[in-house]
């Protein structure tokens, strides 16, 4: 058989192996995206080359046939990580087993560790503090969260959340105190604790970033990196750790190690001080995942234990005035101009405000921070605009046109919406005034 025939045969084999035999494939682009993995593979290949390997020239240039063979190994061993990961048209099939495991679990246990950057009282030093909680889940939508200073210490707090019926029970054992609260938005997904993994991992832009050893053994680390739509397109990522042998999810980190790596953070070695000024969450990692847990159903009961005093809280609501005041606060903070989106200031921007001493904050910064803190205490973590739209307006009726509108401009429209049960629309202007307007009088077509 001729050399060219060998090349064609190998080329066809490569494309078949990666599922690209019927799709165009940009090899140059692929090499750019996986340069680090390719360089590592080449180093390993050249260091292990046996006598007789066909290498030509001082720089070790491989023959064309050998290039294709090595390219095939790179595709299969480095790019794919698991069979068929490179396919765009059947990535859902590739992760079907993993997704089925996540979505089919009836009871799950795991741990979650939160990492915070804490700044000293004088603002000159930073260190890392962690908090670990024991978690459990029972389908459908029941969560149990246990907090204590050490995993072997006395329990400080227990929270049982019903993510389907939107309520939680908070228990403080030392005080025998219980609080039942209706939720404006569930803290956890009603679809289960790792619904994020089953949603994000089958996406075609998932990256395989390497292997590492974990307490569970060798794992493959996959990452989905993207621009966050909710934080002014800041870089964001998710890391998923999959057991190399069982192909089961064993850990998940948000954000991924490309943004924050607990193992390499220089601040991790700094001593913890008693006095501090600010604390900023930087990462969370979920691990020790058991998809076949067996727990007593009573652990998920929303009935307080005997002897506990019970306080009941109804859910909080956002009024129209509170929503409009929040839009004004964001514009004030944004240099007297309404921002490009109406929902929230970027996490980076809020952290910068939190990092300042209160005396160093501008009135606009302090006003915005006060609103954010009140929302968090009221379990309105979606911020006023988001909750107001969900709870008070007709679905799909909210339209934001405030990007660049100056605060105080009485002739420019910032947004409009239709309150539930209303006939007319409510129109908010740059001076924060509100007027009723018939659908036909709006500058863009809307549903009646």
Please, what is the average pLDDT of the chain?
A: 81
- Please give the average per-residue pLDDT across 348-371, as a whole number: 88
Residue 9 pLDDT > 80: no
- Please give the average per-residue pLDDT across 325-352, as a whole number: 91
The reply to whether omega before 356 is within 30° of 0 (cis) is no
In this predicted structure, which of 23-27, 80-84, 213-217, 325-329 has the lowest mean pLDDT? 80-84
* Domains, in order of start, for the chain: 3-80 (no CATH), 100-313 (2.50.20.10), 320-441 (no CATH)
Taking only the tens place, the pLDDT of each residue in 235-293 is: 899 999 999 988 889 999 999 999 999 999 999 999 999 888 778 889 999 999 999 99
Write down the pLDDT at residue 45: 41
Taking only the tens place, the pLDDT of each residue in 97-106 is: 788 888 889 9
Cβ neighbours for 169, distance < 8 A, ≥ 6 positions apart: 159, 160, 178, 179, 180, 302, 303, 304
For the chain, give the longest Cα–Cα distance. Answer: 86
Cβ neighbours for 309, distance < 8 A, ≥ 6 positions apart: 176, 177, 178
What tokens were used for 45? 């290949």
Judge whether 416 and 399 are in contact, CB under 8 Å: yes
Confidence grade of residue 114 (pLDDT, cut at 50, 70, 90): very high
Confidence grade of residue 344 (pLDDT, cut at 50, 70, 90): confident
Judge whether 379 and 181 are in contact, CB under 8 Å: yes
Q: How far is CA 99 from CA 23, 69, 202, 203, 291, in A?
A: 26, 33, 9, 12, 12
Distance of alpha carbon 306 from alpha carbon 258, whole angstroms? 48
Between CA 358 and CA 364, with CA 363 as vertex, the angle to 5 degrees is 115
Residue 20 pLDDT > 60: no
Report pTM.
0.71
């Amino acid at each position: 058989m001729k050399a060219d025939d060998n090349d064609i045969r190998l080329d066809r084999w490569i494309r078949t192996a990666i599922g690209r035999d019927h799709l165009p494939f940009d090899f140059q682009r692929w090499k750019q995206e996986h340069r680090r993995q390719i360089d590592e593979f080449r180093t390993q290949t050249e260091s292990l080359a046996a006598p007789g390997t066909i290498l030509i020239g001082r720089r070790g240039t491989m023959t064309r046939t050998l290039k294709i063979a090595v390219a095939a190994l790179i595709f299969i061993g480095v790019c794919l990580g698991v069979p068929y990961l490179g396919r765009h048209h059947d990535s859902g099939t590739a992760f079907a087993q993993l997704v089925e495991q996540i979505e089919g679990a009836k009871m799950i246990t795991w741990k979650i560790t939160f990492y915070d950057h804490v700044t000293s009282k004088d603002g000159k030093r930073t260190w890392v503090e962690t908090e670990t909680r024991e978690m459990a889940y029972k389908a459908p939508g029941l969560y149990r969260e246990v907090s204590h200073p050490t995993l072997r210490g006395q329990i400080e707090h227990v929270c049982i959340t019903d993510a389907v019926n939107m309520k939680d029970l908070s228990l403080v054992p030392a005080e025998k105190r219980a609080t039942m609260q209706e939720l404006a938005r569930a803290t956890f997904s009603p679809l289960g604790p790792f619904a994020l993994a089953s949603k994000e991992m089958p996406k075609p832009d998932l990256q395989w970033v390497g292997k590492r050893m974990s307490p569970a053994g060798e794992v493959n680390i996959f990452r989905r990196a993207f621009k966050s739509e909710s934080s002014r397109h800041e870089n964001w990522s998710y890391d998923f750790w999959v057991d190399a042998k069982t192909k089961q999810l064993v850990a998940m980190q948000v954000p991924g190690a490309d943004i924050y790596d607990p193992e390499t953070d220089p601040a991790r070695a700094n001593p913890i001080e008693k006095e501090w000024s600010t604390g900023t969450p930087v990462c969370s990692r979920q691990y020790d995942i058991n998809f076949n847990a067996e727990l007593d159903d009573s652990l998920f009961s929303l009935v307080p234990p005997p002897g506990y005093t019970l306080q009941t809280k109804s859910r909080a609501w956002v009024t129209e005035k509170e929503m409009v005041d929040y839009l004004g606060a964001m514009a004030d903070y944004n240099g007297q101009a309404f921002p490009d989106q109406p929902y929230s200031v970027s996490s980076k921007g809020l952290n910068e405000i939190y990092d300042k001493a209160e005396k160093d904050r501008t009135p606009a910064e302090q006003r915005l921070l006060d609103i954010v803190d009140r929302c968090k205490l009221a379990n309105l973590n979606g911020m006023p605009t988001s909750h107001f739209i969900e709870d008070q307006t007709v679905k799909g009726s909210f339209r934001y046109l405030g990007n660049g509108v100056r605060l105080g401009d009485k002739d420019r429209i910032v947004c409009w919406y239709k309150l539930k049960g209303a006939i007319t629309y409510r129109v908010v202007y740059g001076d924060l005034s509100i007027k009723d307007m018939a659908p036909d009088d709006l500058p863009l077509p809307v549903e009646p």
